[in-house]
Amino acid sequence: MNRYFRWLVVLWVCSSGGALWSQTDTFVIARMGLRNAATYHLVELFQVRGRWFAPDLLYVDYGKNNYRELFAGAGRTMFQSKKFSLANGCYFDAAMGPAAHGAMYLLPWTYMTYQLTNKIGGETYYLPYLPLNNAGTVQHLLERAKLEYSWVHFKLGPGYSGYQAGGNPWQSRPFLTGTLRGGKLGDFEVWLQRLPENKLQLQLRYVVSHKSR
């Protein structure tokens, strides 16, 4: 495992070196899924320096003590205009706990934003899980693809996410999302999501950022 962490250090130094003295935006993201009890917890911390995302650190569990994941990585905005942006990056993911069996993954990710009109825009975020050892399984996660209508302090719209692991069927997860835009206090987003077998899940998502030089 140590060689993968050394690789991450090299990736972070290369990504941050060219923009080390530019303005830094620090983002903190917290998420929780709920049915009868918590279905997952997620916390992410990342910084944006110019076009670079580095470092990017993330923790997730699935409401149980026997499995959790730690991610570390970096990324870069490859293209940006008034209507469209494209960013790519990569995580190293170490799964831990008795149910993890020491699985490790690389997760190259793609993030797109699009602004169709002054009021209508959206985003798409996709990442595959590529195993680094025999304990892992190839997985595909469309974390979100959503389209929203924006007011001054509120956004509302439909979305879709999906998941597939190994040879199992693709699992469709459409959702409805509403976001309260709190300015410096952050954005608070609520998803009402339909899971496979017609189960409903409520997701709470909070994002806050801080700019510094």
pLDDT tens-digit readout, 133-177? 999 999 999 999 999 999 999 999 999 999 999 989 999 999 999
pLDDT of residue 15: 47
pLDDT of residue 111: 98
pLDDT tens-digit readout, 65-118? 899 999 999 999 999 999 999 999 999 999 999 999 999 999 999 999 999 999
pTM for the predicted model, two decimal places: 0.88
pLDDT tens-digit readout, 12-69? 555 445 445 468 999 999 999 998 889 999 999 999 999 999 999 999 999 888 999 9
Looking at the structure of the chain, the number of domains it has is 1
CATH number reported for the structural domain that contains residue 70 in this entry = 2.40.160.40
Closest CA to 211 of 47, 51, 82, 72: 47
Asked if 8 and 92 touch (Cβ cutoff 8 Å), the reply is yes
pLDDT of residue 9: 54
Domain interval for residue 53 = 2-212
Close Cβ partners of 148 (under 8 Å, ≥ 6 residues apart) = 120, 121, 122, 155, 156, 157, 177, 179
Q: What is the mean pLDDT of the chain?
A: 90
pLDDT tens-digit readout, 167-199? 899 999 999 999 999 999 999 999 999 988 888
Residue 100 pairs with which residues in a beta bridge?
none
Asked if 200 and 193 touch (Cβ cutoff 8 Å), the reply is yes
